[in-house]
Structure formats: C-alpha cells, structure tokens
Amino acid sequence: MMPKISIVLLRLLSGTCAATLVRFLILGSIFFVGPTSARKPHIVNFQSHNLFPESFKWDPRAQHFIVGSLRHPTLLSVSDAGVAETIISDSFLPPNSSFVGLSLDRQRYRILVCVHRPSSPAYNALAAYDLSSGRRLFLTPLLSDPDVKSDSDESSDVANDVAVDFSGNAYVTNSGADIIWKVNVDGEASVFSRSNVFKSYPVDLTTSYHKCGLNGVVFNSKGYLLVVQSNSGKLYKVDIDDGSAGRVILNKDLMGGDGLAVRSDGVLLVVSQEKLYFVKSEDSWGEGVVFDETGLEVEKQASAVTVGEEDRVYVLYGHVNDGLMGSVERDEFSIVEVESEKESKEEKIWLYVLIGLGLAYFMFWRFQMKQLVQNMNKKTN
C-alpha cells in the first residue's frame, strides 16, 4: 500500500514542480527580457532663455543635474522632471564670461567651473563655488605664458574642461595652446603639462573643430588623467605626479571628442556631436578598444556626457554651435539617456541563454523523475 502511495505522490509532485518551473520561466522571460527590450530612454527637456549649456554633471547628493551656460555666468539645477532653477549667478565676473567645463568635487561639495571669455580681450580662469551656500571660494586667472597677459589679444588660451583629484587639485585643459593647468585646493595655479606628445599628431584642417585641441578630461584613482584631443582624435594618459603624457593606443580615433565621463565598471564615455563612443581598457589605459558607438542627433549639437543614478549614461544637447553665435536665441534644451546598442543586445542574449539553461535543466530533471517512477513501478510489480 505504501509504495503505491509514494508513486502517486511522486507523480503529483513532479507535475506540480514542472508546472511551477514552466510558470517561472515564462514570467522570467516577460519581466526580464520584455522590459529590457521595451524600456524607453529617459529624456529630460528643460527651458531657460539663451542658456546654451556646454557642460553638465550629475549631483548624487542633491539628485539633480547641474548645467552651465555659454551666454551667462550662471549654473542651473535641472531635475529629472525638467524643472530648472538657478543655483549660482556670478555677476562679478568680467562681462561676456561663459561657464564652460564643470567638475563636481564630491568630497568638499563644491563645483569647479572653467570661465572663458572668447571676445577680445580674452579671459580664462577657474572658479570654485560651495554648493551648499553658493559662495564663490576662489577665482584664479589662468595663463599659459607668463609674459602674455590673460586679457591680451596675443593669448590663444581657451580654458575648456576640468577634472578634480581626491586632494582637491583641479586639472584644466587648454584647447588653444594644448597644455594642462593645475590649480590646487587653495586656488593657486601653475602650468602642469606641456608635453610634446600633445603636438605630435596631424590635424585635419577641413573640420570645424580643427582649432580645438585638448578638451575633455577625467581623473583616474590610480594616479593619472585621461584627456581627449578633439582635432586629432587622440586619447592621452597623463601622470598626475609629473605631467608626463603618452598616447593611449586605440583601434580608432575619437574624432571631435568633447566631454568625457567614466562608468563604475571603468568604461570611458566620449561624446562628440555625431556619436557617443564606448571605450574600455584591460591594462590601465596603455591600450584601449572602442567597442561601440551610438549615433546622436547632430542638429542638437551634443557637447557633454555624464553618468547618473544606476550607471545610466546621459548626453547634453545644448546647441552649443548656435550658442557661440550671439544672434541666435533659444529657450529649449535637453538631457537624453543613451545606451550602448551592443551591450543591450548582449544583455538580451544572456537572458535567453539563462532561460534556455533553465529549460534544459527542467527537461533533464523531468527525465530523471520519470525514470525514478518507472523503477519504483517495477519494484512494486
């Protein structure tokens, strides 16, 4: 009597478990595969009269973006719902000054801003502001040649982008002279790197950005900077101890490369107006590989990239070319999430592989259960 009851129970359990496993696999395919392929990118549309932002950063503490302006010495916060509010407005800067590159010093909760006045006479500086109070901490003029004044017509300097290390030192790229400045935590400036490697590669004079040299810069915790050069498409690794630089060997040039950002997995993001490059390295950036490129909306003139919550990647459509033309007016700008198409496809493939393995395991388990039931039937007979 007992063996027959055991057989019946085994059959019932195998049927119940099989049905449960099938339901799990179906639900897994719906909830994991479905949303991955169907989720729309996060788009933040915001308005501010003639802002023309060139750079932006995600502030994880305040949970909003911080954007600058080519037309005004102002910084705005932009919520993920598109609400824009002025957080810093510095009316004491020289007239016609722009806020270009930004860097968030999370440890000291301050924002470092490249200040540039393109009109004659030129002006370049690095400003630091406390984000809790909005108070300016310092304003440091930047000179590449001590014999040429910063506001001289002879100056070709363009303070473009900035990165900050753990000690609070800021590193500012000069797109006009292809050098890098260093500004310490107290606002004292010096020329950090004049490496000859920055002038070692040919420039395509037919491009609109042929005069734009060193541009986007990021700091790596291992003790170096990564810097992209717009007009050559080269990526450089710069030692923060002595300013020595070397070219990172890539499988292709990053032509028109502008802003940089780094994901938590170490992938370097390089934005140009045409595309967003995804770059990775296995040897601390002696060499690297551009493993994907995502096309951007060229007419919106992207200029910056940042990493937000959950490692989501965003580009800034600031219409910067229009912003440099003083006669053009505009109120609407946007921040758009961008994904690597290759990575998205690989994620889907892995999900399908896991489901396939689950089905294979289910078929094997069911076969084993069938064999067990048959063996018990033989014993009872």
Give every CB contact of residue 232 below 8 A, 6+ residues apart in sequence. 201, 202, 203, 213, 253
Q: Could you read off the pLDDT of 20-50 as tens digits, one per residue?
A: 555 555 555 545 444 444 568 999 999 999 9
Could you tell me which of 310, 305, 312, 275 has the C-alpha nearest to residue 290? 275
Helix, strand, coil distribution of the chain in percent, nearest 5: 25, 35, 40
Is the separation of the CB atoms in 264 and 280 below 8 Å?
no
pLDDT for residue 119: 78
Q: Could you read off the pLDDT of 80-92 as tens digits, one per residue?
A: 999 999 999 999 9
pLDDT for residue 35: 42
| Averaged pLDDT of the chain | 87
pLDDT for residue 104: 98
pLDDT for residue 232: 97
Q: What is the spatial order of strands in the sheet that 260-262 belongs to? A: 260-262, 268-271, 275-280, 289-295
Residue 225, pLDDT > 60, answer yes
Q: Which of 130-144, 268-282, 349-363 has the lowest mean pLDDT?
A: 349-363
Going by pLDDT thresholds of 50, 70 and 90, the confidence category of residue 183 is very high
Helix boundaries (H) for the chain: 2-28, 34-38, 320-324, 341-380
Which is more confident, 354 or 302? 302
Could you tell me which of 97, 193, 173 has the C-alpha nearest to residue 136? 97
pLDDT for residue 19: 53
